[in-house]
Structure 1
């Protein structure tokens, strides 16, 4: 794989994400990532929440599906999925999708500066299979429907403004979204075995009511150059969006998406890969491929949601595998960061950092029961690199 020099920037909290990796450090990278010791050391024994963590880190349960969130009157939703954090004065809000076929939507939990829960509320209701999504620079959450000809809904984390369906962003099996404030576009993944990677350019940045949907065009190799081409009919009728541009590059099951520092990363679960678009020179390559890992077996399988920290570390959650969140460092080392035990019928979803970077939120979508009604949302606190 050709060695490229680029910046991996990552951000903590939506207020930082809004300005495109202002917290970042440069380094040289070679892709794809390989096995090695993680920056936090080996995982310890399972704690009382059945989570294995490195030394210095602790976990707590924030919410359980079907149960009232502690200190509030709000009942947490089933099948918690994609999520993000938003600064709220000296505290923050964590939003979480509900990936159920009917009655889906998004819930939110509010925290004060000490991390104490101060409230919880609903910000979107009665949608379908809200899987992942993405935060915008103007402090909204894009919740994506993972259904054929699904929509993107723009929501208010505070629950004050009504959620709005954003038809111009296309109708397809939406998965995740990531905002690029430099190019003033939103990147979108598609969860199909023959899916595409898209970008949406709003007519006016900050207003998603109109704009242009495009699809990434490239060759069949795992690295090379790319360009963009307009999708003629974003509503996906009568021809699916992924079939409208014959030269579109096909990806096997698009999942998580993360932007920082002139780079966007996205995952594909069908082939356990993390892809990397180098936006400054319009090239793409593999940041991770489980079939190319050396030495030993791949630590990261069931590749799914992805987020990043201000140090440039990527945190990738597993759908299956052995229920781990793995870290991919700026020097292209991949290693487990945490492991959930006793929940093999579940998947890890919604990883997101608090604005100060000291807390990582995520969910086990089906918990110990293996059912959508058994979801558990967690917080991990500790000395994250910044």
Structure 2
């Protein structure tokens, strides 16, 4: 069944969270009132030399700037969705963790030449080199990492495609048209059910599930859309024609009972739950894949405003980046707190994009898509690293 919780209270004066799904076990019926500064890291200090306000014990650096050299290439404009990978050549990570370098992949949300780039970091955090992993694509916005260490780069444009890229720079990118031709935003892999969840950035967009014929090979499969069920809950129904022909119905219009979402954005899967955001109504949603239930996990205007990209940690914390607002990344904890962890000063005409943790969880990468310049073309984009005692 679909559950919706309104937790705006006059006494609290701030947002609150309703918990759902296996990720936050033990808190399924609880709600915690969020208060700025009440998170696990304490209040933000004054902005540092990079214009980044952080809690005590954290520090920032700028690792790349759009149109300027980094690691042998010019960093792309309008950096957007991103992910991190251990730099071990793609081999499985040892059970005790990985002690080497890592790679951060970032999309470029510009027309016609968008694509994606990667920065390879050495074990000490210094930049080894950078390189392109995708070229000549259109408005590459968000995406998602796969369990087999590839990056799904999504085109946020009419009849957009999903491209599977190689963060290690060994193989050419491949477009997977079976995953649907629509205004793609983000992707999140569910290895338990062997499916990929997809968001759509339209005011009447949908939430999709792609089931490949062979897990690990996304070239063939079935695309379903989340629909209203007769009993008041939700269910999956097949999209008749994912190719969305030029003169036919778009994917979101092919199934009449499809559940509508106001501007789908970030998407993150963990422990039986797929979390995704919708910017039009400033919500964080939770799809409980084990029970087939949909709920609203966050529905408030403060402290988190302008929900966009989302990521998480093994310990259950979610990190949600803001598009506009006061340019923060907020943490949503299993204990019920919603609080800012990062705030950018002087980036009022930008948005925060691409949050992703290094493999050991000690560093968080993200970008300010238009930087302090606020340039619509994203030529002033900045990519940051924040390191410190993150909960893991």
Fold conserved between structures, TM > 0.5: yes
Residue 227 (str. 1) matches residue 235 (str. 2): yes
Preserved CA contact (<8 Å) 2:51 2:345:
yes
Look up the SS of the partner of 1:367 in the other structure. Answer: coil
Q: Which residue of 1 aligns with 2:9?
A: none
Unaligned runs of 5+ in 2: 6-17, 89-99
Look up the SS of the partner of 2:137 in the other structure. Answer: coil
Task: From the superposition, tell whether residues 38 and 4 of structure 1 become closer, same or farther in structure 2 (CA, over 3 Å).
Answer: closer
Partner Cα separation in structure 2 for residue 30 and residue 285 of structure 1: 12
Look up the SS of the partner of 2:252 in the other structure. Answer: helix
Q: Which residue of 2 aligns with 1:52?
A: 53
Give the number of aligned pairs. Answer: 360
Q: Aligned ranges for residues 25-64 of structure 1 at < 5 Å?
A: 26-30=25-29, 34-36=33-35, 37-64=38-65
Q: Which residue of 1 aligns with 2:314?
A: 310
Unaligned runs of 5+ in 1: 10-25, 292-297
Q: Aligned ranges for residues 267-346 of structure 1 at < 5 Å?
A: 267-290=277-300, 298-346=302-350
Task: From the superposition, tell whether residues 117 and 276 of structure 1 become closer, same or farther in structure 2 (CA, over 3 Å).
Answer: same
Q: Which runs of 4+ in 1 moved over 6 A?
A: 2-5
Task: From the superposition, tell whether residues 220 and 105 of structure 1 become closer, same or farther in structure 2 (CA, over 3 Å).
Answer: farther
Query: What's the CA shift for 1:193?
Result: 0.1
Deviations 1:242-283 (A, max 9, x none): 001111100000000000000000000000000001111111
Query: What's the CA shift for 1:332?
Result: 2.3
Q: Which residue of 2 aligns with 1:178?
A: 188
> Taking structure 2 as the reference length, what is the TM-score of the superposition?
0.89
Partner Cα separation in structure 2 for residue 5 and residue 216 of structure 1: 18
Query: What's the CA shift for 1:219?
Result: 6.2
Partner Cα separation in structure 2 for residue 200 and residue 102 of structure 1: 26
Residue 7 (str. 1) matches residue 22 (str. 2): yes
Q: Which residue of 2 aligns with 1:374?
A: 380
Preserved CA contact (<8 Å) 1:314 1:327:
yes
Deviations 1:111-168 (A, max 9, x none): 1222111110000011000000000011100000000100000000011100001110
Task: From the superposition, tell whether residues 5 and 315 of structure 1 become closer, same or farther in structure 2 (CA, over 3 Å).
Answer: closer
Partner Cα separation in structure 1 for residue 82 and residue 277 of structure 2: 16
Q: Aligned ranges for residues 185-264 of structure 1 at < 5 Å?
A: 185-218=195-228, 225-237=233-245, 238-264=248-274
Partner Cα separation in structure 2 for residue 244 and residue 367 of structure 1: 39
> Taking structure 1 as the reference length, what is the TM-score of the superposition?
0.90
